[in-house]
Chain A
């Protein structure tokens, strides 16, 4: 196993810049999710790490060694494709043993290692079947088997659960994470599904338009989004933005939105006058009749244990995650209150998060890359 370092990685396809300037490190034995919408450059980044695309600039180091322009076959990595790419003219056993065959491993040794891997993945009963008749989950496991049989330096996975149905995906998310816990393989996992990324990854890199917007633990990314893009992309429903205009001095603890004065974490930098957005997660919104920040009920979605209530305010729609034990009528006037120590403040134009006391404390220890 090995550490993966990506330094100033850039990839252009003609005029289109797929990856702009990515720099991050996947620590030995850790699980990184590259998360972003389609076309954000996450798959291109992965393919460059694999050696299936050559970068336009930058460097990739595997265990300290520069492999930027080395052939895929010489990098000692494994790749799980979205559609698995199981060789259709071979059976399960031959598929899993194929990488060992390339290394010239003796037949008996191949047989032993294929069977050992199959046992680990609980597919030893289908070893002699052709791959064409396999169910989605078994295809997935065979693809994983082919990846791990060789004990490569790292695993790269390109949306491997994308084609599975939702119910089975949850099972595979658990299985993948358990497998990772057992073999501690350095893993880079590409997905557009924030739930998969949150559930499995040690670190998440959120990408947008070829740029890594934020690199951090799932908690960091959820609690301290570095940009409005990240705040909006992560969480369901996403973070609310209450837009207002103003400037704030360093050390300010109050944001004035209309007549309401909203308490927030102490600012660690000065904010020039301009458009700002106050970010608040739906679960940090309460409805308090006495609050000066007023709004009217716009709608609600019942989710069982809780409900998402949408409130129309001067600053836009605000969604609140509230207990499901109270019904609201549309148009009903309400007051909004926020959990002040969890609020984020953004520069609306650049989308950048403004540094505040939110970025200190409990999570700080892990926030090396933040």
Chain B
């Protein structure tokens, strides 16, 4: 019984983290039709930026109000989105809209390679540690098990992010416009929608979510080069399982991957890395376009 509870809790914590990273990826794909490998770099940059900013915060006497470090984490993600979002979308990606999907994956792969080294140039190759925000929330006791409160805060953040994205898309005017652009961008343009601005906004939102994922993770780990390489591939698995472009799909995908990984860690530790892609391969076998994707007619 304890084992089941452990697997569930561990799985949900991992799923919460995964969802924050993946929902941005799926949003960007939904609107721009680009599967963005550089999402992993934005994640890593978010982690670095938050490590620097939290470091600065405590260096500037933040010890008096340690809670302010959470604001620093979020601010870091906002900064990354504000700087890199327009730079990548306006400066590069907009020239590739409507081109082949796989070619666009390669364009973002090139960006990923470039950003990997840019990060090394800015932050060097030594690890960064920001443990303060991690310890602030104390421990949580579930039956005989102890968890760090921060881990649950990540689940909370994931729920907030998920609700915010879903409500914005489905319950606000701007969301309706975004959905219209996803459905048919040319038709939306004739109706007076400023499509380039929607693209930019969606990409910045995606960049923010990637960076937020990184920023929230930074306190739990040591921030080192190569952080984005593994994240992006797991996030791919999640969005492909859920169906590209689907927010509820990303949530289901994250939970499936999270729980199966936790189960594997506790039951068959050898299969930890294997299981994520195995789940993805199985889902694609039965639902070739993911769980929540709309089946599209083939065009002649």
Question: Do A and B make up one complex?
Answer: no
- List A residues at the B interface (Cβ < 8 Å): none
